């Protein structure tokens, strides 16, 4: 993680964003005190697969046990 003064961050912001997009984290300081951290946004691609797998695992352990799905759906809408 690199540290950059606020004045440098203003001057080189596009370059800093490129570095962050490649995965780096950057601390921005003002008068020697850390005031912000630039971090990359997590990619949603891996998360989607994990959520689907978790939903499938949940479904395996939970059944409706004879409850009518249509009634449950209608109840949820009201």
Write down the pLDDT at residue 19.
96
The Cα 55–Cα 21 span in angstroms is 30
- Residue 72 to residue 60: CA distance in whole angstroms: 19
Instruction: Tell me the residue range of the domain where 67 lies.
Output: 45-77
Residue 8 is part of a domain; what is its CATH number?
Answer: 3.40.1620.10
Number of domains in the chain: 2
H or E element, residue 78: none
Same domain, 69 and 52: yes
pTM of the model: 0.55
Q: Do 50 and 69 share a domain, yes or no?
A: yes
Per-residue pLDDT of 7-47, as tens digits, reads 999 999 999 999 999 999 999 999 999 999 999 987 766 67
Nearest to 37 by CA among 55, 60, 19: 19
Rounded to whole angstroms, what are the CA distances from 60 to 9, 33, 52? 51, 51, 13
Verify that 49 and 26 share a domain, yes or no.
no
């Amino acid at each position: 993680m690199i540290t950059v003064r606020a004045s440098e961050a203003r001057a080189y912001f596009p370059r800093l964003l490129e570095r962050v997009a490649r995965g780096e984290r950057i601390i921005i300081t003002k008068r020697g005190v850390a005031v912000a951290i630039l971090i990359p946004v997590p990619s949603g691609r891996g998360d989607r697969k994990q959520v689907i797998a978790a939903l499938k695992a949940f479904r395996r352990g939970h059944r409706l046990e004879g409850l009518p799905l249509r009634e449950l759906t209608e109840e949820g809408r009201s």
